[in-house]
Structure 1
Amino acid sequence: MQTIGERLEEARKRKGISLREAAEATKIRSDFLSNIEQNQFDFDLPDIYKRGFIGNYARYLKLNADTVLTDYASQRLSNSRLGKKAGSEWFGKMEVKTSGSAEEGTAEDTAPPSLGRISTRNDESGREGSADTAADTTNETTFYFKVGLLFVGTLSLVFILFILVKSILGGAGDPGTEASNSVSSTTFDRTALPTLATNPESQQTSAAKDPITLEATGSVYLVAKQRDNQLELFRGTLGAGESKTLERSGVVDIVFTAGENFTVETKGGRIRPSVSGEAQITVD
């Protein structure tokens, strides 16, 4: 009759799976799988781990895990009974030997070296098993900690990207905040920027109210202010085909982000900035 280990090994070889591949797939160390296939279940782990390894390995090999675990329990119970029987016979022999001489019996009762060595070995194996279990627990905790850090880092990156995209594309939705910051952070040199003026006729009527119309041929962000009192007439983004008529009194300074995408319509004619990109013009 095949043992549990022989059945598992035969099923693995029948599927053409190496021991290393099985260990990677089941997340069980290869030395544990090797001991299981050799029907050696005395490696230093609690019995609940052994049962879990055997059940997972059987399911991985498409075997009936319940049947395999039942056979394992029967084998373990049988080994336990055999061990108790052998122990009782051994102690019986010890009693026969000690009956021959009182002095030998006294020496054996006071300091049995064989029992002392067995107890020490069991203590050492127990300590090694506890150390392995503690190491496995530490590794598992470290793994989950790294996964948590990765998850938090990913969320932070997504949040930062969202804020950046919103700050870039959100000018039309909230021009009073983000677009204002964009324009105010740019330093314009008025002496280096072109200043265009209307014809002499428009200069004569500059003191009176003279509406101007901002017409956009493409997306452009504009800020228009009256020079004399710094009254802000308009601040916002105009899309292609959009226009904005402003009632003004006096000279108007217009700051823009794309000079090639807009014109200014006045009574004196149409003014088009002579530069592209960010600059400023003055309409008298």
Structure 2
Amino acid sequence: MSHETVYAIASGKGGVGKTTTTVNLGTALAEAGKRVAIVDTDLGMANLAGFVSLTPDSMTLHDVLSGDASIDDAIYSITENIVAVPSGTSLDEYADTSPEGLREVVAELRDRFDYVFLDVGAGVNHETVLPLGLADSVILVSTPEPAAVHDSKKTLELTERAGGAVTGLVVTRTLPDSDISHDEIATRLETDLLATIPEDSAARESVYAGTPLIVYEPDGPAAVAYRQLAADLAGIDVPETATDETGTELSVAAGQAGGGSDADDEHDEREAAHDDVSSAITEAESSTE
């Protein structure tokens, strides 16, 4: 699967860990030296804005899609090798956007980064369906609950209608003593089971700490599972601990973004302060997880 570089992370139901999966997959690949861009394609209910410190006049994907900004204006460095393209939170800005412009955005990011992750909104609307067809492949995210699995089936069908392809299923918040067969869930959805992510109290703690789980608790069961998933998707080995190749511990603190890409260099001056990122991540993730 290493030839696939643009992934849409999707779920039919909110609150199943979609954004957490997006951020931790991206972070794991960034730790492995890959240049990664995370794009919030949930134009109506943006979440990734929480990963950068935005002022009222900050540019977002809304501005790009309305023709008021370039993609460079809406790229924000998070940490080493990884950037975010957030959507805005203003309903007025949302009304001015043209979702069709996302095709050009994805094409440009594909050329500039090793991996692009599209954080897709839940529900059924044009801006939800569009990324499913633009990505090289779609990763379904679901908890084992019947409602979440049922909605995942809808997302799979939407992907097929959009001309996209589903790589497989990630089941989050699994319990070791459960009698639920995760393989059976994937079979019912007629797709492959890519990974199971164990229930881990460190996941919520990492949100309030303002740090991706695989950095906050690198040896925890969920972090280990996310790293293995990243390795399997990319066909590479990923670091077992949250360090870069120089041995320096990674975090979302300001001043640690490196020169992994031209976009990183151009936007160093706009790196978010650690306190701002921490509080914003807490607010964004808590509202969806």
TM-score when scaled to structure 2?
Answer: 0.20
Report which of the two structures shows the higher radius of gyration computed on alpha carbons: 1
Compare relative contact order (CA 8 Å, sep 6+) and give the higher one, 1 or 2: 2
TM-score when scaled to structure 1?
Answer: 0.21
